[in-house]
Structures are given as structure tokens and as C-alpha cells.
Amino acid sequence: MNTEILGVILIYATVVALAIPLGRYIGKIVNYENTWLDKIFNPVDKLFFKLSGIDPTKEMNWKQHLVALITINIVWFVLSMLVLTNMSWLPLNPDANPSMSADLAFNTSVSFVTNTNLQHYSGETGLSYLGQLILMLWQFISAGTGIAICAVVFMAMKERTSETLGNFYSFFVRACTRILLPLALVVASLLAFNGTPMTFEGKDTITTLEGEEQQISRGPVAAFVAIKQLGTNGGGFYGPNSSNPMENPSYFTNIVETISIFLIPIAMVFAMGYVLKRRKLALTIFGVMTLGFLLLLIPSIYFEMNGNTAITQMGIQQNMGSMEGKEVRFGSAASATWAIFTTCTSNGSVNAMHDSMTPLTGMFAMLGMMINSFYGGVGVGFLNFYIFIILAVFISGLMVGRTPEFLGKKIEAKEMKIAMVIALLHPFLILVGTAISSFLYAGNPTEYAGWLNNPGYHGFSEMLYEFTSSSANNGSGFEGLGDNTPFWNIACGLVMLLARYLPIIGPIAIAGILASKKYIPESNGTLKTDTSTFGLMVFAVIAIVAALAFFPALTLGPIAEYFALNVR
């Protein structure tokens, strides 16, 4: 078997092998069971709560959880704006990088607040070390809030009737101290020992093989990269992200970083099974997610390893596959694997340029974000999948003539209305944003000429990808798009805000409403939701509601580009 394929199999097998025990550990944290890190972090937690004046034992209803989440996000958003617009004179700026403009600071702050990490700047020249550290802190906060709000849904899914669902601040602090921080320390250490910089010194001057002097940017890169991967954040310390050899020096570091993308999203599924004591349900959900993921991954690897037909027609051999925009040290298979890993989650980091992927691989990357529930982001990926479970339960109940129930709670009109609004919000934001940008460009291509380096099918794909990435809180991009303009900064910022908070509010509202309903024990007439049949039903709902909504747009972009290259 090809060694590149063996590498892909090794990466995924390692992720699953690590995610199962990690899921059990996360489940214990959600249930407040004893863990081996309690002795270290219990005093730290108590210090945080003492300084903030917060009572972590106070129970909250679902509305209070949302208020707590939004409050944390607003406070740190304001701080981020202040730092980014004043970096030039603040400390930790050895390279004298300038402050950001207001519209770029708004886009960047929103991007990191929402766990998107869409970057319309290049980190090594656009941020001071203080700016990088503020954004790194945000990578902990946004991932921690995702895990915390997912824990609230787990509590709501328990077989009981309850108005209160734990304490958000307690879930949040425990997620940061007991999950994200220890994992980040391990990953950062592995990266630092394998060549990733970890320093506060400024640029280094080196002499190249040609005898020329060159300035090389450094900084606290290893720490930044560790949490960017683990928290499905994705924002790079450097502009080229993890294709830069300073962020990702070798094939070993590439394996570590790729594993880190999927580790917590998969572990959250197994954590749900542990918390609810429903291992079969967790396996059913994991199976559906994995099926969808593999349907995107396998053809992507195939197309990248077989090269670009346009280059083949020029008589050029492509023994290594399609290598435009890719690093030789990784190869085409590992690059395609990362592309699907990063877009099936809300990570968005890259080790190759997605703009240079073959047309259908670019489409599969977009589909991962359009569906946005095959593993998904840390915590919120499960929330997106939860919406499709509610829809599938309701449709299945109608098909078999039974009252729709999920985990002993009746699903009624109110929950369905919320679920449908949230399911349709994602396509709405992506397609409306793409339509507006296409209208502007088509109406005045001279004025907006700086937007597209590739007019035509691929140019449309670049705009579609940008709004898809923003709405999926992903952050990757087809970087042929000139996106550091007021239009793209503000439009994408608004999409990121709506696409982050409404899909959190909806599932939490549904979970809170269901939790307060009378619990009905399972009987012979209860629809089983932990079977392969129900799993296929959920997959069908995802395919119909999520994937097909985007087919016309994909036809105008990557599908049309594919046929333009291959039909002569």
C-alpha cells in the first residue's frame, strides 16, 4: 500500500484511539467525578471564582447559561479591539508592527471571538506579540465556551425533568483548566522540541545558501499553534499557516497537528455517551459523522494524488500528484487529508493552499463546512448535529405514526420551529452573502477588480468559499480572494457573529425546553434512536436539508470548473 495512504490511516486510527479515553475523561469532568488533575486545578479554579465573585455551585437555567456565554464574549471582544487598534505603541512589539485599521480589527476580533479565526492579515507582519497573545487567549476562551455550552446540552439530555442545567462558569473554567490547558502543554512541547519556535525575541537575521541576508520572524509560535489546533480555532501565527515550516517543520509535527484537529470534537461524542450512559447512541452518532467524513475524504485524496488534468494535458508528469500550492515534505495525500479534517471541523488551519486544490477537492472542502456537523467544532459541532437529530426524530415519528420522542421527551411544534430556523440559517447566510458579492462584482468589475485574481468559475468559488468559511466559523479561505477590504471585513464579520451565536442559542433553547418537560420512560412503542436505521435517517436528513441546499451554487463554481478542465 502507498506510504502516503498508510500515513492517513495511521493519523485517523490514532485520533480515535486517543479520543475514546479522552471522551471518558471529559465525561467525568462534566459529571464532576474525581479525576487525577483535580489536586492541581481545584485550587486554581477556586482562585478564579474568588477573584471574580462567582458562585460556581449556583444552578442556572438555559437562558442564564446563554447570558453568561454572551457576557464573557462581549467583555473579551472589547479588550481585543483595544489591543489590536493600539498595538504600535503597546509593549511586546520588537518588530514595530503597526496597529490594525478599525474594520480589520473588528473582523479579526469577531473572528477569534467566534472560534472562526478568519485572517485578513498576515500574522508575522500584522500583529505584535501582545496581539498574538491576546488572540491566543481567545483561542482558549472560544474553545472553552464551546465545550461548556455543549456540557449544558448533555445535562439537558439526561433522563429526568429539570429547569436547571448546572453552572456555565464552572463548566467553562473546568474545560479550560482540565482539558484545553493540559493538552495544549503536551502539543506545544512536542512542537517546540521538533523545531517550532518558542521565544519572545524579534526577527532573526540569517545568511541563505546564496549568501544573502534574510529576516526570519519568530515568536511564541509553539504555544499559539497548539491551541489553534486543539481548540478548532485554526488561525496561524504566520500568514501561510501550517504550510510555513516554522509552524509545521516536519512530517511528524504534521501528524501531531492533524491529530489535534479532530481529537476533542470526536472525544465530545464519546463524552456524551459517558454522561448519558448511552454508549450505543454515541456510537450511532459517531458512525454517521464518520460515514459523512469518509465520503468527503476518500475522493479528495484520490483527486489530489492523481494530479491536475490541465497540467497533464501540457505533457507534464505528476508522479507526486497535484502539488501546486503544497509542501513537498507532506505530499498530496497528507495535504488533502488536512483539508478535509480542517473543514469537517471548524478548525480552518491549512498545510497547503486550498485555492490550488483540484476543483472537486475544493468542493468537498466546502461541503464539509456547508454541512458543518460531521464532527464539527469543539462543542458546537455536536450542537449542530443535535439539530439534525431533532429533525430526524420528528420526521421518523410522522413516518411510523408515533409521537416524536427523544430520550423520553416529546418533540413538539415549538422545538421543530426553532430547529428548522437554525437548519436554514446556515444556507441563508452563505447564499445571500455570495449573491450580494457576485452582484457587486458583476455590476462593476472594474471597481472590484482587486477582489478576484481568477474571474470566472473559480472566482465565484472563491467568494462562495469565503462566506461558507465565515458561516461555518471555519476561517480557511481560497486565498486568491482580495479580502482585506471594508466590504469583506464587515460582511464576513456580521456573518460570523450570526453564524456563531444563533446556532448556539437554538439548540440550547430546544434542550432547555425539553429538559423541563415530563420524562416518559422508554416502552415498546418508543422510537429507538441508537440504531443503524435511525443513523441512516439522520444522514438522509443532513443530505437533504444541508447538502442539497448548496447544489446550485456548487454547480456554478467547482463543478463547472471541473467540467471546463476535463471536457474538451
For every residue of 418-447, DSSP letters joined together read HHHHHHHHHHHHHHHHHHHHHHHHHH-TTT
pLDDT in tens, 256-280: 999 999 999 999 999 999 999 999 9
- Given this model, what pLDDT does residue 201 score? 87
First to last CA, the chain: 33
Calpha distance 543→37 (Å, rounded): 41
Per-residue pLDDT for 1 more than 60? no
Per-residue pLDDT for 37 more than 70? yes
pLDDT in tens, 278-312: 999 999 999 999 999 999 999 999 999 998 888 88
- Given this model, what pLDDT does residue 399 score? 83
Q: What is the pTM of this model?
A: 0.94
- Given this model, what pLDDT does residue 149 score? 96
DSSP track, 536-557:
HHHHHHIIIIIIGGGHHHHIII
Per-residue pLDDT for 564 more than 70? yes
Calpha distance 13→418 (Å, rounded): 37
Calpha distance 22→446 (Å, rounded): 53
Closest alpha carbon to 519 in 408, 375, 381, 358: 408
User: What's the gap between Cα 399 and its chain centre?
Assistant: 34
Per-residue pLDDT for 567 more than 80? no
Per-residue pLDDT for 401 more than 80? no
**Mean of the pLDDT values across residues 428-432?**
96
Cβ neighbourhood burial of 245 (10 Å; 0-12, 13-18, 19+):
middle
- Given this model, what pLDDT does residue 125 score? 86
Q: How confident is the prediction for the chain on average, in pLDDT?
A: 92
pLDDT in tens, 451-470: 988 888 999 999 999 999 99
Per-residue pLDDT for 127 more than 60? yes
- Given this model, what pLDDT does residue 259 score? 96
- Given this model, what pLDDT does residue 115 score? 92
Share of the chain above pLDDT 70, in %: 100
Calpha distance 196→203 (Å, rounded): 14
Residue 469, C-alpha cell as written in the block: 468559511
- Given this model, what pLDDT does residue 568 score? 61
Calpha distance 290→296 (Å, rounded): 10
pLDDT-derived band at 394, boundaries 50, 70, 90: very high
Per-residue pLDDT for 498 more than 90? yes
Helix (H) or strand (E) run with residue 207 in it: strand 204-207
- Given this model, what pLDDT does residue 309 score? 83
Residue 138, C-alpha cell as written in the block: 481567545
Question: Rg for the chain (alpha carbons), in Å?
Answer: 23
pLDDT-derived band at 228, boundaries 50, 70, 90: very high
Per-residue pLDDT for 242 more than 60? yes
Q: Where are the beta strands (DSSP E) in 478-564?
A: none
**Mean of the pLDDT values across residues 332-340?**
95
Query: b vs e for 58-75, b when ≥16 Cβ sit within 10 Å of the residue's Cβ?
Result: eebebebbbebbeebbee
pLDDT in tens, 343-359: 999 899 999 999 999 99
pLDDT in tens, 173-227: 999 999 999 999 999 999 999 999 999 888 888 888 888 888 888 889 999 999 9
- Given this model, what pLDDT does residue 313 score? 82
**Mean of the pLDDT values across residues 409-436?**
94
Calpha distance 414→513 (Å, rounded): 9
Q: Contact 87/96 with Cβ under 8 angstroms?
A: no
**Mean of the pLDDT values across residues 230-237?**
91
- Given this model, what pLDDT does residue 483 score? 86
